[in-house]
């Protein structure tokens, strides 16, 4: 079939070439155009032949993996991956049918192996970063993020990645996270006060993502830049640009396939809006980094010239830590590198954490007995205190709330999949081999909903994460933050914010499922985009509780 398709393409090229030659001869155009057209068609024919031969090679090499039914040998599974509720149900069907993995072809262009079992996921996620393929990360799923964040730790590979990862690690140390607790308490209180005002006005049915996303954005701006944006009350140019970029990324990926080519996209109206918003974000980050570096240099000069001991410093934010950190050679990050990492922290952090908080509140709203048990746990913890604030020491004393959060991360993971590609063949169980250069789509959703791994995987059951059950849990069965050397560097930050916000929300409100105005019911249809959202929003009914503030 591969040879037939290749020969057919070459035949078509030859026919087109002949027709063009006749047209040129009839119109009397110069032989230069004829020569040019001959060369052009030759190049196109060779490129087509190479593409089809490459497709045939991958089809043969991946024959050790089961292959779901395709549209045709050439088109493969093109168009069968959908970012909808039905698309997630299709993943459930794949997992139910193929148990651990299958191959997947997006036309003759991309050749994937989809994996959704811990035994198959683990060897890939635990592989050394040095054998990861460098080029594809900027060409496929992370292409747009490259423009947003530059060559950050999210995109880079090899030694560049290793150096950046080492330099960034201190920014997520427990001692640094402790100082962020006050920020999380403050941002959550601002959101809850706004909810109380809305409920007093009779608006008890609220869409969670709108409010929680602004709250996590508020927290991140304070933690990253010490910038009080007041974005939960009123917008700003920077915050508006962040929100617009998030929307445009979804539009670009899903609405028009031609927009995947940069030279086309930048000429569209959406591309112009993307550039303008991107310039706003980059300008803000650049100004913060430059001003903070200047201030740091001035402080060092003052301390060097003065015999007086340095005064107590303010809480260090993300940019401060990046400015102070050095590698083994005494070299720090350049301004450009710091801007890339700060932008990544903002983009990768606010949406994912917001999604995790929203789905946790949704799951607790649907299971009143678990909600009440969490609420009682928090009330017992703060009993006798003057105010309602979660302290660092409290986090380890919220075992059941943490179990509920983890089960929500399993059932509704913010990120549905991660991709990997390697410069060498990767051996998997069952004598299966992933050829070098193949894209490995590690399905977090599929692994978390695999019935051979989890009993009743579509049910919400926090007892799965009872510490007494941990020994029976398969390694890499639970990977909401990925795993291995490229796991999410901000996962501890996210878990701290999750526990603080969920605990404080349950103290002030009783939650029940709301009504989605678009659907006219409380039914929820999942919407996997950059993070897992819900069609028409995620709506909950809020009932304020008579607890002291």
64 is in an annotated binding site: no
Nearest residue to 188 via CA among 410, 317, 378: 378
| Structure-token pair, residue 81 | 């991956």
CA dist 449 to 294, 331, 462, 497, Å?
Answer: 50, 45, 15, 25
Torsion from C-alpha of 442, 446, 450, 455, nearest 10 degrees: 120
The alpha carbon dihedral of 521, 524, 525, 527 has a sign of positive
Residue 147 Ramachandran class (φ > 0 left, ψ -120 to 50 alpha, else beta): alpha
**Number of helices and strands (H, E) in the chain?**
18, 11
CA distance 59 to 108: 9
- CB-count burial class (<10 Å; 0-12, 13-18, 19+) for 222: buried
CB atoms within 10 A of CB 315: 14
For 98, what's the count of Cα atoms within 13 Å in the CB-facing half-sphere? 25
**Alpha carbon 133 to its chain's center:** 20
Hey, which residues does 119 pair with through a beta bridge? none
CA distance 170 to 166: 8
Binding residue positions for heme: 488
Binding residue positions: 488
């Amino acid at each position: 079939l591969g040879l037939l398709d290749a020969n057919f393409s070459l035949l078509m090229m030859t026919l087109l070439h002949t027709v063009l030659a006749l047209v040129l001869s009839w119109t009397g155009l110069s032989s230069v155009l004829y020569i040019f057209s001959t060369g052009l068609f030759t190049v196109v024919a060779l490129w087509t032949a190479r593409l089809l031969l490459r497709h045939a090679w991958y089809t043969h090499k991946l024959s050790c993996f089961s292959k779901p039914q395709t549209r045709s040998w050439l088109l493969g599974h093109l168009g069968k991956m959908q970012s909808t509720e039905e698309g997630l149900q299709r993943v459930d069907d794949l997992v139910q049918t193929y148990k651990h993995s299958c191959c997947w072809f997006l036309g003759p262009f991309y050749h994937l192996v989809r994996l959704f079992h811990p035994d198959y996921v683990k060897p890939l996620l635990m592989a050394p970063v040095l054998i990861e393929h460098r080029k594809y990360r900027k060409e496929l799923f992370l292409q747009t993020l490259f423009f947003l964040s530059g060559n950050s730790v999210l995109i880079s590979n090899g030694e560049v990645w290793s150096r950046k990862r080492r330099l960034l690690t201190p920014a997520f140390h427990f001692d640094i996270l402790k100082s962020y607790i006050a920020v999380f308490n403050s941002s959550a209180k601002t959101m809850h006060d706004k909810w109380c005002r809305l409920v007093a006005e009779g608006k008890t049915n609220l869409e969670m993502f709108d409010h929680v996303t602004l709250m996590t954005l508020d927290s991140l701006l304070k933690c990253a830049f010490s910038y009080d944006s007041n974005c939960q009350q009123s917008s700003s140019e920077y915050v508006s640009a962040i929100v617009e970029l998030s929307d445009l990324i979804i539009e670009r990926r899903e609405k028009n396939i031609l927009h995947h080519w940069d030279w086309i996209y930048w000429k569209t109206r959406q591309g112009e809006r993307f550039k303008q918003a991107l310039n706003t974000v980059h300008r803000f980050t650049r100004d913060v980094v430059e001003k903070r570096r200047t201030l740091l240099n001035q402080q060092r000069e003052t301390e060097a010239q003065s015999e007086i001991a340095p005064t107590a410093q303010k809480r260090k934010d993300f940019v401060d830590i990046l400015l102070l950190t050095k590698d083994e050679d005494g070299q720090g990050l350049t301004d450009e590198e710091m801007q890339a990492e700060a932008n990544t922290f903002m983009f990768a952090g606010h949406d994912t954490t917001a999604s995790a908080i929203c789905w946790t509140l949704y799951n607790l709203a649907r299971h009143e007995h678990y909600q009440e048990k969490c609420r009682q746990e928090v009330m017992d913890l703060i009993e006798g205190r003057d105010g309602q604030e979660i302290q660092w020491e409290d986090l380890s004393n919220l075992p059941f709330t943490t179990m509920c959060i983890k089960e929500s991360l399993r059932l509704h993971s913010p990120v549905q999949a991660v991709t990997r590609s390697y410069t060498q063949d990767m051996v998997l169980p069952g004598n299966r081999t992933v050829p070098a250069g193949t894209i490995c789509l590690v399905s977090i959703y599929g692994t978390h909903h695999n019935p051979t791994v989890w009993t009743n995987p579509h049910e919400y059951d926090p007892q799965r994460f009872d510490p007494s059950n941990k020994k029976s849990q398969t390694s890499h069965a639970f990977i909401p933050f990925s795993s291995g050397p490229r796991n999410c560097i901000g996962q501890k930050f996210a878990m701290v914010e999750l526990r603080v916000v969920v605990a404080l929300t349950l103290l002030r409100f009783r939650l029940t499922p709301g009504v989605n105005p678009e659907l006219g019911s409380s039914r929820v249809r999942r919407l996997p985009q950059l993070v897992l959202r819900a069609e028409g929003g995620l709506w909950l009914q809020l009932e304020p509780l008579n607890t002291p503030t």
